[in-house]
């Protein structure tokens, strides 16, 4: 019992409260992950000019998917996020869809063979 003029002693919270607080924190983390796995349903079209020089395009916000359409006149090579990985060859008047399932497309690398050019239409979903 508290004496007159003294504040009562503070008791440690029950263990269940500590666990509930931990669970709430983890649920908040999971909610943030879930938000990243659902696209807003917005698209961003971009047209790029490819040459023999390796170029990079960085979307303003990471994309979930990107549709690539090569309108020519030559084959274009596309790499996503890591330029050291293999490039996907996309011939003239052909398309390809990169789908990562989450907002992970942050960089798009593109190039043509020596002496060639291509126009590439990208449509990213975020």
Q: Is residue 22 part of a domain?
A: no
- Count structural domains, the chain: 1
Q: Is residue 28 part of a domain?
A: no
Q: Is residue 61 part of a domain?
A: yes
Long-range contacts of 113-116 (CB under 8 A, 24+ apart): 113/52, 113/74, 113/75, 114/52, 115/52, 116/51, 116/52, 116/73, 116/74, 116/75
The domain that holds 55 is classified in CATH as: 2.60.120.10
Q: Is residue 69 part of a domain?
A: yes
Measured CA distances, 85 to 36, 77, 80, 88, 109 (Å): 24, 12, 8, 10, 10
Residues 38-74: pLDDT tens digits?
888 899 999 999 999 999 999 999 999 999 999 999 9
Q: Is residue 7 part of a domain?
A: no
Residues 82-100: pLDDT tens digits?
865 789 999 999 999 999 9
> 85: domain range?
46-125
């Amino acid at each position: 019992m508290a004496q007159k003029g003294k504040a009562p002693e503070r008791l440690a919270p029950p263990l269940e409260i500590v666990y509930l607080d931990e669970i709430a924190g983890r649920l908040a983390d999971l909610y943030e992950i879930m938000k990243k796995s659902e696209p807003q349903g917005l698209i961003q079209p971009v047209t790029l000019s490819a040459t023999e020089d390796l170029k990079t395009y960085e979307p303003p916000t990471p994309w979930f998917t990107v549709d690539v359409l090569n309108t020519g006149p030559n084959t274009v090579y596309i790499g996503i996020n890591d330029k050291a990985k293999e490039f996907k060859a996309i011939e003239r008047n052909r398309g390809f869809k990169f789908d990562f399932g989450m907002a992970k497309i942050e960089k798009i690398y593109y190039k043509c063979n020596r002496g060639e050019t291509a126009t590439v239409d990208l449509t990213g979903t975020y």
